[in-house]
Structure 1
């Protein structure tokens, strides 16, 4: 045997050992996460339908916000940073994620939905995944890159389990950490974890909503028949996807700005969730219907606007996407818990419904494109969202899924719902963003530059235009 062949053989033996090792490590982690997510989904559905039967619970939302605030102040501590804490710990190869994060986020998310707060469930599943993975990592005495990998696997298991999309969960966990870079070193553990987490939820007989894109008339077929391709339709998709990206930008900025304004406005932090709850009650009374409360998947009353209804003509109002944006950003921006992704699905699907009417395009297709594209722009994960389109809606329109997700990703700019997400490769070359700076740091720096430029313009106006006062 030659030296090269011997080296290749040893390398493959090492690869096989790592595969076996990570399968053994990840298997119990993913089962635990999947079981916890299954319990969470059951409990969440029970709470939502209980509120449907008792609509007066909405008027207790300010008190619910107050309770959530004191839970985090008393026992939550660092857990309040949520997904951003997990992202930071993965970047720093640390295991500083408390075990109490999982039960606390589960309880506070259920409280938010029980009393009508508009939030999602992905944040809860990801935090459950990260918390349980960190706990197992300490038990296994993992350090350095190994703790990073098991945390990524935990995120993949949580995300894949909560939506029933294991491939998306694996890719999302590797893609969401750094804009423009994918953590390929966690590829196999993430995929194993996401698949096992999803299978565990199914084993507990917890089901997910099924979505469907109606058949559309064939266009100009430039491919072999697998891809549906129509030049005019493609143009409409690109235009709509730019709008999806801008909707992502609006959502992310509103969440951050509402948090910042409330911190400045209220001397005592406990007043912030109380204020948020009162605003949600007021808006609901103003518009006269509860369609934009809670998750937005199940219908509280016949004719309610939901994510499934958005896949049909007339299934959404023109401004449903904006109302959901307002409801969710107020809910999350004032301290209630949950996630952003399912509301982003709602915003995208209803915006897609509206745009399909304006552009004379297939309703269910554009609802599906908005569903994944707004999520792509807000999380900066275009590859994961393209896979999500295939897993949820089938592969026939995969080309349009990719166009929608990639376009929305670009048009959302350097914004996002995860402020700890780092910028590895800027979306626009030479735009001044430093490699590996977080979105939070980039926003602060951009804000500083804007203030500096504004001061310079004001001083210039006070002069004679030549620098002379």
Structure 2
């Protein structure tokens, strides 16, 4: 008993003698490191976005038949960049390294990723900047962690925080970006990586502010959706019903991507030849169906504002699925989340045209949530991302639709590394 009292006295004396060592708050010095990682991610994302906008403005002047040689040339040049500067890999590599290599992402190929993705996206590829940004900012976080001699979960957490900062900057959803950076690793491992949630959230908030200051993009929904009326109990049932259509299109998309990948893998060829062929195919689709060009950030707004026939919407749906498939399987750099939302919106408009008088905003958001959850296996972050991007603030219908797409997804995911098996190609 006397020993315990003496020990308590010594501890109390040490606290009194060293008051600066006593921190009455939750946060520690690591908080400022997470903020710094987010700020750096915001600067990278903001700079990337400004350059991308300038390139989009310049290359969008090429219309009509010129689109085909433009995109074939862009694919060739982007392929040569990757051939000379190194292959930065794709989302499979990111997930694989986070899960099996302690979160170490190599920044040495970031110049290749930045240059090739800017060229691919700006020329009209059907893939967005989210994947390149996630890789660049994630590897930057990993580089900072290694410079500070972090190991284990601390290194992994800082890498995930970097990933979240890049994703958040583009989508303007700090919580959605944080959760996505965990969910994309595999839904069963969100709890495993829970330690990284707060670092990711702090970095996301920091990145969001910096990105807004750099780009001057307003805070608010990205797309002007029809106003959703007061939710009814039946809406949850209808959300799942509409989600079945979105999930079916998700299966079709996954099947098309796999067939396209097999097609490109039939013949071994240099990356620049493969990407030139991909550009030729995507450019041809864009010539006949201009709305299928680009990653659909602006095209979705056009889709919502104008009226189209069912025949046109079905043709556009097929064209966009093939455009995304050829883009991502031929080696073009970019992500497919925004293009998937576009495909989901087309599906919703087709349903609304076939069965008029339904709740259009509910149809749209249900199909968009279902297809993204089906393909990317990110049902939780999909809810928050869609709510932020569309201004559809009734979470529960989106939740039912997102879970429907998730649980009815194919057992084998599109991103192979989500299976939990170490990929030998990245050894």
Which bracket does the TM-score occupy, shorter chain normalised?
0.7 to 0.9
Q: Which residue of structure 2 aligns with residue 404 of structure 1?
A: 401
Q: Which residue of structure 2 aligns with residue 202 of structure 1?
A: 212
Question: Is residue 2:227 matched to residue 1:215?
Answer: yes
Matches within 5 A, 1:28-427: 28-55=36-63, 56=66, 58-77=68-87, 79=88, 81-94=89-102, 96-182=104-190, 183-207=193-217, 210-218=222-230, 228-231=231-234, 233-285=235-287, 287=288, 289-298=289-298, 306-312=299-305, 314=307, 317-319=312-314, 320-360=316-356, 361-394=358-391, 396-422=393-419
What displacement does 1:23 show? 1.1
Which structure dedicates a bigger proportion of its chain to helix?
A: 2
Structure 1 residues 150 and 65, CA, compared in 2 at 3 Å: closer, same or farther?
same
Query: CA contact under 8 A between 1:348 and 1:371: conserved in structure 2?
Result: yes
What displacement does 1:198 show? 0.8
Structure 1 residues 217 and 94, CA, compared in 2 at 3 Å: closer, same or farther?
closer
Superposed CA offset, 1:50-72 (max 9, x none): 22223235413222222222222
The CA distance in 2 between the partners of 1:376 and 1:104, in whole Å, is 30
Structure 2 unaligned blocks of 5 or more? 9-14, 16-20
What displacement does 1:346 show? 1.0
Q: Secondary structure at the match of 2:165?
A: helix
The CA distance in 2 between the partners of 1:61 and 1:14, in whole Å, is 60
Query: CA contact under 8 A between 1:234 and 1:400: conserved in structure 2?
Result: yes
Q: Secondary structure at the match of 1:307?
A: helix
What displacement does 1:380 show? 0.4
Number of equivalences: 399
Structure 1 residues 394 and 290, CA, compared in 2 at 3 Å: closer, same or farther?
closer
Superposed CA offset, 1:282-325 (max 9, x none): 3334x3x4211112223xxxxxxx21233346258422232211
Query: CA contact under 8 A between 2:67 and 2:283: conserved in structure 1?
Result: no
Query: CA contact under 8 A between 1:170 and 1:190: conserved in structure 2?
Result: yes
What displacement does 1:179 show? 2.7
Structure 1 residues 67 and 30, CA, compared in 2 at 3 Å: closer, same or farther?
same
* TM-score (structure 1 length as normaliser): 0.78
Structure 1 residues 356 and 313, CA, compared in 2 at 3 Å: closer, same or farther?
farther
Q: Secondary structure at the match of 2:292?
A: coil
Structure 1 residues 277 and 147, CA, compared in 2 at 3 Å: closer, same or farther?
same
What displacement does 1:384 show? 0.6
Superposed CA offset, 1:139-166 (max 9, x none): 2111111111111111111111111111
Query: CA contact under 8 A between 1:26 and 1:189: conserved in structure 2?
Result: yes
The CA distance in 1 between the partners of 2:398 and 2:135, in whole Å, is 28
Query: CA contact under 8 A between 1:121 and 1:341: conserved in structure 2?
Result: no
What displacement does 1:385 show? 0.8
Q: How large is the Cα RMSD of the aligned pairs?
A: 2.8
Structure 1 residues 372 and 38, CA, compared in 2 at 3 Å: closer, same or farther?
farther
Superposed CA offset, 1:209-231 (max 9, x none): 6223333454xxxxxxxxx1241
The CA distance in 2 between the partners of 1:294 and 1:16, in whole Å, is 51
Which of structures 1 and 2 has the larger relative contact order (alpha carbons within 8 angstroms, sep 6+)?
2
Query: CA contact under 8 A between 2:60 and 2:123: conserved in structure 1?
Result: no
Structure 1 residues 249 and 14, CA, compared in 2 at 3 Å: closer, same or farther?
farther
Q: Which residue of structure 2 aligns with residue 437 of structure 1?
A: 421
Structure 1 residues 398 and 261, CA, compared in 2 at 3 Å: closer, same or farther?
same
Structure 1 residues 217 and 114, CA, compared in 2 at 3 Å: closer, same or farther?
closer
Structure 1 residues 96 and 353, CA, compared in 2 at 3 Å: closer, same or farther?
same
The CA distance in 1 between the partners of 2:109 and 2:249, in whole Å, is 30
Query: CA contact under 8 A between 1:48 and 1:294: conserved in structure 2?
Result: no
Structure 1 residues 406 and 266, CA, compared in 2 at 3 Å: closer, same or farther?
same
Query: CA contact under 8 A between 2:67 and 2:286: conserved in structure 1?
Result: no
